[in-house]
Structure 1
Amino acid sequence: MLTNNLLSIKRRPWPVSILYLGAIAVLLTGWLPTLLGARIGEPLLDVLFLGSSAAMLVRYGARKGVLLAQEIGWAIYLIIGAVLAVLLRGVHPLDFAQAYKFVWYLVLLAPFAWSRAAMAPSDFNRLLNLSLFMFFTVYLIKRLLGDDRPVLMTENNFEIIFLALLYFSVYVSGIRPTAAQTFLLLGIVVLSGSRSAAVAVALVVAFSFDFKSRNAAKILGGTVAAVIGIALALVVFESRSEGGIETIDRFRFFLLFLESVKDWTLADYLLGADRLTPLPPYVCSQLAFYSVLFSYENTGSCYSVILHSFNLRIVYDHGLLISALMILYLLHLTRSASIAQRVCVIGIVLASGLSVSALNNVYTALGIGLFCMAASSRIQSNAVADN
């Protein structure tokens, strides 16, 4: 069974128990409020992410080095941004929080990399099994009931990124995902109808392929899964892109972004707009359909969140320099993994950032935290084997 031994009693470091048991609780119950129109899965995961990060920091402390210096740098950047935007320019605190949310997650991710209490590979695998079971079952039932964009807790653009990173974490921890797990993951993507999820899943399936294996069956199975993953990604794209590129809403957002920065100088591209600058009024007026994403000030103004793309948002609000520093930080944060594995994670962040909030949501942040712990688990397992 997919949930076999899920709640098996074993001694785990208490920070790991908080993360593991908390994730199980959210996966089992977070979908229920959606039946009544309430989506509390994301807030619950935010609490879990914050609690797990704090627990690991209290239990294991911070490690002196480049990562600590970078984390302090991000914390200072967050404080400076708050002073400039909220205190000096009078930006609504919630608008500021929306634009700087990814910085908060970057700060909280460091303890996952510092943690010396790596989660056991078997626990990663159990979490994946439960996640696949919950996602596939709920998505399938909602599809049969006529929902063409089913969700478990929030938008499937977000939550399948977490599922993809969890699948990849299982592989990184030392357990090769089974064919059943892979095909369930691919089935979930088809049921979701999400293009960004299709790209993320195609990446993790491809990067989980063992090119060094001498087992013909594994090579054939991995090749088939990778081909199917890429094919499904193309199918989802094609099904959601009828009428050409001009009909894709993200392409329209990109054109509006270009319109917003048409007068920018090189310094503007490097540093972003003044903290925190709304989009031009005529751009907001063209996006009136998304008024729910307008400023919390209720003045008819809107910020870059309305562009529905983390990549565009980070360039507009923070500039190319901060974008580059973010990627460097992620590479250092995941240094326990191989170069190929780190490239895969960065690829997922960039791909999801084309159409959704990428690092500006807890699903991606928590998935990266699990990936960091999986890489540490692999290193510890190899060290034990060597001894």
Structure 2
Amino acid sequence: MRVLILGWEFPPYITGGLGVYCYELTKQLSAKGIDVIYVLPKRMKKVRSDFVKVVEVGPGFEFGSYNEKEAMVFKGSIEDYNNLLVKRCLHESFDVIHAQDWMVFDAAVRLKKITGKPLICHAHAIEYMRTPHDPWSYIVEKEKTGYYNADLIIANSYYMKRNLVEKLGVDPRKIVVIYNAVDQERFEQQFRREHGLGNSKIVLYLGRLFVQKGPDYFLNAAKKVVERFRNVKFLIAGTGDMLPQLIKQAIDLGISDKVMFLGFVPEEEKPKYYAISDVYVLPSVSEPFGITVLEAVAAGTPVVISKESGASEVVRSAFKVDFWDVNKMAELILGLLMYPPMAREMSRNGKKEIKHLTWDKIAEETIKAYKMAVYG
């Protein structure tokens, strides 16, 4: 079988879980004999892979800001990219189209109509979850175009599936749920206490600094933890629009000496930060899945996660909290910092719970979805 995957990120260009997913999935699909053509925008550095055919499209795209303020430039880049996608992909032969993000849905639908090949759209997130209070109608319509025209939809959690049905009116009968996974060997704990952190306990947030991820709630909880437990540092790893606001928030809360902003952390560096952390916190306002939760658990790091998270469906031993309840969030963090036996037990249980979530298994389930779309 030959699969055309329309993507957005691939190493060295990874900004979040989507890039990790595409890399790990295509690697396993290739190992199982699936012929993969992976298409993404051309950028400054050439993307290379020894296990899939990588096709870079365009003269070198700069997509501008992901918001309505720069709407015309952003929309123009998206439309240009989709037009070039269709033109380039018509030179390839394939059995099924797998579209990874709303940014390629227009091209995916056009390719389906021209070639007659079945279309699978992957739901990693939707606009109503990224910006629940002010969704951009332009993106919502692109999402609807893809999901309504798809022959099959892969959702990364039942939480994601519910949102597709309730927010976009997608037919639930054509949605299959395939969880994300983690390369567990990469995240085994090997060392702790580096970078001049001394013997401080460490609480980690790793993710994009956007409203959807709730980093401001993380800082509010940090303030309450510091009031009762001084020997602690809070690491914030990631970049995004909220960075200036979060720096100011840490200063205003009087905890700037307890917070370290690490900036973007490359994939190869992530295991180190999980390994030195005593607690990982993901307080997302809305999180379709949350691969970082699996990474932390694989590293043996206890986790506190938002109830609005798809990962909470598979990591049952995690502490779960409403993202807005910073008092409860702080209590749970304190419990893990102050009672090591409880943290160790959570670590052991978490590793057992995710043992079955391997990229090999996810590739097997995805191949079944491909066959369902192609053969019925």
TM-score over 0.5 for the pair: no
State the TM-score, normalized to the length of structure 1.
0.24
Bigger share in strand: 2
Bigger share in helix: 1
Q: Which protein has greater RCO, CA pairs closer than 8 Å, 6+ apart?
A: 1
